[in-house]
Amino acid sequence: MSKSNLLNEQTIDLAEYNKEPIHTPGTIQPHGVLLVLQGPQFKIQQVSSNTFDLLGLQPEELLKKSLKDLLVDLEQIKIIKQYLSRDFESINPLKLAIKNEGKTVNFDGIIHRSGKAIILELEPVLSKDKNNFLSFYHLVRPVIVLMQKAQTLHDLCQVIAMEIRQLTGFDRVMIYRFSHNGSGTVIAEAKNKRIAPFMGLHFPDLDIPSQAKRLFSQSFLRLIPDAQAQPVPLIPTLNPTTKQPLDMSFCTLRSVSPCHISYLENMGVRAAMSISLIYQQRLWGLIACHHQSPKHVSYEIRTVCEFLGQAMALELANKEEHENLEYKLKLRSIQASLIDTMTQSDNFVDSLVADSSCLLDLVGAQGVALYLDERLICAGKTPKEADIYDLIPWVHTQIDNHIFYTDSLSKLYPPATPFQSVASGLLALSIAPNRQTSILWFRPEGLQTVNWGGDPTTQVEVEASGNLRLSPRKSFDLWQETVRQTALPWLSCEIEAALELRSSIVGIVLQKADELARVNLELAQSNQELDAFAYIASHDLKEPLRGIHNYSSLLIEDYAQLLDQEGVSKLQTLARLTQRMENLIESLLHFSRLGRVELFMQPIDLNEALKNALDVLRINHTSEALEIRIPRPLPVVLCDPTQINELFTNLISNAIKYNNKAQKWVEIGYLDADSAQLTDRLTKTSAHHPIFYVRDNGIGILEKHLGTIFQIFKRLHASSKYGGGTGAGLTIVRKIVERHHGKIWVESIADVGSTFYFTLKDEEENDAR
Ligand code: ADP
């Protein structure tokens, strides 16, 4: 079994270990005493069994007393009482003078609440501490100045390590940073010359079990003056009120877990102190201090260290910002140029693909795949398309808050093993979850050497019983491991750049959708206005025009004998022109009405509609030799019957009109989407709808006119030729087709004939797209 497998399988049992109640050990370290107080009288409920050594009273005696029986100055009781309903933290440390066999002994008292109980921890003030005590401000200020001067995160960590060592005198002070997988790395160190350096070493996740990490997050400083000291039990063991072991999560005196003691022992450490570095509510790291012999640190100095730890945590944001500054600036400028091209382009995908090197550099990847509407567009070094298609459904289950990333894909997704050389690192960004649109960046495998503080796999031992036991490493000497199946980790600035790209894409797409909606609205409004204008204008023009027409007819009838031939001819032209103008206005009025009337959509058998149109046309064209061809019955479609009738009438009457052949024919039919006759253009126009056509063997239309014949009043011939007309017929046909959300176009060969194609879609279907 490989090492990594061994560790993986043990995770379950280690999770059990992580539930071990290390916060309720029932014992304390012997350098102080612990009193559990109850109620406003501060009655002593539980005590540590070492009270005689430090307070001169046996535990049994103390359990009959209350706190006021111990204190020299009863004013202090009043002060504590004032904080009963508040947070005790602000009065710590209490400087308590306690009676001990007629003498007064000074203690640092640390008070806090644990459930209903009040816990008071007392540590004797060493005379040495008292004499050497300098003001808090005096100690802290120079360190803060140095911290501010530090340029980089590394400088900041180094300053803190050195200053904390200076303040405390520990043999070794390290800044230990946690990675996202829970392991830690020593990123700064100050130490005495005699001991080996730990700088740069990695420590496995299990070195600090999750239970302990949680305690580090809760209380910021932990001191172990002597890991070998005998732990002192509480009397009674269970809390009399709760009948439960006392929760000592926040106790500074809480005794050390046996596993941690062995760990320190194996490392040659006797005294230790750790200060938590909490950044963005997460345990970012620790200031870890080690000493080879027992060592006490006064409460004042501890407070200074804790304060510096908190100040450092605040500075982290600042310094992390400066980390990789040049690289971050480069990412920013790539991002800006990508956004720029995206904003200017109509299609963001095209612009992303157009400059794929920009897209790769944005996160420092070697390959990228854009997954859009079940289609893949790849650039750079990526796995095969088929592999990416297989990978995508899994990636979509992993994405959380729009993003997923890993630097060892094949460990999480074993099918990636064959292509680990190009894709050990994966950063996936979801753009539109509903349409499963995403960007996948890939990073190749890169062999890496990790320097561990001792062999990390020797931590877990299998006991004879088969149970697993955490067994701290005996050796902390450099232990090198070559890591495969792993890419360079994604930096937080690269992850941020990806997320920002997503926001920009979403912003641009939304902005474009807004623009489109606005333009559509404006278009609809202006169309309405145009229709209204055409209606009013044509309606109002009709009246005076009719007058002119009537008067010119009257003049011809009543005064023709007074005029010469030329005058009569001019009046006749006037009458003809006004008649023509009236026809034009009538067409315009009809056209504008078409846009205003509501459609009555219903299933219409087009064979019926066609028959009606042909009946009317046959009456008008009885004399002509005309063949009507209907190759197969037409389907039933949802449409407005009146308008569809007009559409057929117009197209068929044109087919008859613009035909000078002796044997005229008109064919009315439709093509299916899979018809062999479909050209590329036709296929694109309608994948699912029949394409209707009206074909003739007429005069045809020259190619140069194909684009203009749908314009209103556009005729290609003199007004009297081919039976005349206003030139509005095809405009009306187009309007009808468009109101049915369809398309119309023409194919024609001069002297051979023309074919008008059109589609019809119902509105609901259109809305659903
Ligand atoms: P009108 O028939 O009143 O002139 P249309 O809008 O129906 O107006 O037609 C516009 C022009 O398109 C016609 O003048 C004609 O030149 C041309 N056209 C229309 N249909 C055909 C056809 N089937 N064959 C040849 N030309 C046609």
What confidence tens digit (pLDDT) does each residue in 158-190 have? 999 999 999 999 999 999 999 877 888 999 999
pLDDT at 199 over 80: yes
Angle at 31 between CA 25 and CA 33, to 5 degrees: 65
pLDDT at 356 over 70: yes
- pLDDT confidence tier of residue 3, bands split at 50, 70 and 90: very low
pLDDT for residue 216? 81
pLDDT at 234 over 60: yes
Name the residue of 730, 747, 748 to mutate for ligand 1: max ligand atoms within 8 A of Cβ. 730
Say yes or no: CB of residue 709 within 6 Å of ligand 1: yes
385-408 average pLDDT score: 93
pLDDT for residue 764? 47
pLDDT at 739 over 70: yes
pLDDT at 679 over 60: no
In contact, 594 and 736? CB cutoff 8 Å: yes
pLDDT for residue 9? 36
CA of 730 to the centre of ligand 1 (A): 7
pLDDT for residue 207? 77
Burial category of 367 from C-beta neighbours within 10 Å (exposed 0-12, middle 13-18, buried 19 and up): buried
Q: What is the DSSP string of 387-439?
A: HHHHHHHHHHHH-BTTEEEES-HHHHSGGGGGGTTT-SEEEEEEEEGGGTEEE
Instruction: Tell me the residue type at 760.
Output: L
Say yes or no: CB of residue 754 within 6 Å of ligand 1: yes
pLDDT at 406 over 70: yes
Instruction: Tell me the residue type at 443.
Output: R
CA of 123 to the centre of ligand 1 (A): 106
Give the span between the Cα atoms of 352 and 341, in whole angstroms.
Answer: 8
Burial category of 293 from C-beta neighbours within 10 Å (exposed 0-12, middle 13-18, buried 19 and up): exposed
pLDDT for residue 765? 47
With CA atoms as reference, report the closest residue to 163 among 289, 38, 58, 266. Answer: 289
Residue nearest to atom 11 of ligand 1 (CA): 715
Name the residue of 580, 583, 584, 658 to mutate for ligand 1: max ligand atoms within 8 A of Cβ. 658
Most confident of 81-95, 121-135, 157-171: 157-171
Give the span between the Cα atoms of 173 and 648, in whole angstroms.
Answer: 92
Say yes or no: CB of residue 729 within 6 Å of ligand 1: yes
Q: What 3-state DSSP class applies to 687?
A: coil
Which segments of 39-196 are extended strands (E)?
Answer: 43-48, 94-100, 103-114, 117-124, 172-178, 184-191
- Four-CA torsion 209, 214, 219, 223, nearest 10 degrees: 0
pLDDT for residue 681? 46
CA of 715 to the centre of ligand 1 (A): 6
CA of 603 to the centre of ligand 1 (A): 29
**Percent of the chain whose predicted confidence (pLDDT) is above 70:** 89
In contact, 758 and 749? CB cutoff 8 Å: no
Query: Residue 686 is encoded by which pair of tokens?
Result: 């309608």
From first CA to last CA, the distance across the chain in angstroms is: 55
pLDDT for residue 530? 77
Average pLDDT, the chain: 84
Question: Which of 1-10, 67-76, 390-399 shows the lowest mean pLDDT across its residues?
Answer: 1-10
Question: Which of 259-268, 296-305, 508-517, 656-665 shows the lowest mean pLDDT across its residues?
Answer: 508-517
Say yes or no: CB of residue 726 within 6 Å of ligand 1: yes
pLDDT for residue 417? 94
Residue nearest to atom 23 of ligand 1 (CA): 655
pLDDT at 707 over 80: yes
Q: What totals of helices (H) and strands (E) does the chain contain, helices first?
A: 22, 29
Name the residue of 647, 648, 715, 719 to mutate for ligand 1: max ligand atoms within 8 A of Cβ. 715
Which residues lie below 8 Å from residue 448, measured CB to CB, with a gap of 6+? Answer: 482, 483, 486, 488
CA of 520 to the centre of ligand 1 (A): 30
Say yes or no: CB of residue 730 within 6 Å of ligand 1: yes
pLDDT for residue 766? 42
Say yes or no: CB of residue 652 within 6 Å of ligand 1: no
pLDDT for residue 11? 41
pLDDT for residue 4? 34
Q: Which residue has the higher pLDDT, 556 or 273?
A: 273
In contact, 28 and 51? CB cutoff 8 Å: no
In contact, 503 and 338? CB cutoff 8 Å: no
pLDDT for residue 1? 31
Q: What backbone torsions phi and psi does residue 633 show, to the nearest 5 degrees?
A: -60, 145
CA of 667 to the centre of ligand 1 (A): 17
- pLDDT tens-digit profile of 89-103? 777 778 888 888 778
pLDDT at 621 over 60: yes
Give the span between the Cα atoms of 97 and 106, in whole angstroms.
Answer: 5
Q: Which atom of ligand 1 is nearest to the CA of 587?
A: 3
- pLDDT tens-digit profile of 556-597? 889 888 888 888 888 888 888 888 888 888 888 888 888 778
CA of 543 to the centre of ligand 1 (A): 29
517-534 average pLDDT score: 80
CA of 673 to the centre of ligand 1 (A): 28
CA of 724 to the centre of ligand 1 (A): 10
Say yes or no: CB of residue 33 within 6 Å of ligand 1: no
Say yes or no: CB of residue 494 within 6 Å of ligand 1: no
Question: Which of 165-169, 230-234, 433-437 shows the lowest mean pLDDT across its residues?
Answer: 433-437
pLDDT for residue 620? 66
Name the residue of 584, 649, 654 to mutate for ligand 1: max ligand atoms within 8 A of Cβ. 654
In contact, 588 and 728? CB cutoff 8 Å: yes
pLDDT for residue 439? 94
pLDDT for residue 683? 43
Say yes or no: CB of residue 649 within 6 Å of ligand 1: no
Say yes or no: CB of residue 655 within 6 Å of ligand 1: yes
pLDDT for residue 19? 56
Give the span between the Cα atoms of 733 and 725, in whole angstroms.
Answer: 14
pLDDT at 738 over 60: yes
The crossing angle, in degrees rounded to 10, of helices 492-559 and 565-596 is: 150
Element (H, E) at 61: helix 59-62
Say yes or no: CB of residue 424 within 6 Å of ligand 1: no
Say yes or no: CB of residue 699 within 6 Å of ligand 1: yes
- pLDDT tens-digit profile of 55-74? 989 999 999 899 988 888 88
pLDDT at 475 over 80: no
Say yes or no: CB of residue 712 within 6 Å of ligand 1: no
pLDDT for residue 78? 85
CA of 758 to the centre of ligand 1 (A): 16
pLDDT at 259 over 60: yes
Residue nearest to atom 13 of ligand 1 (CA): 715
- pLDDT confidence tier of residue 459, bands split at 50, 70 and 90: low
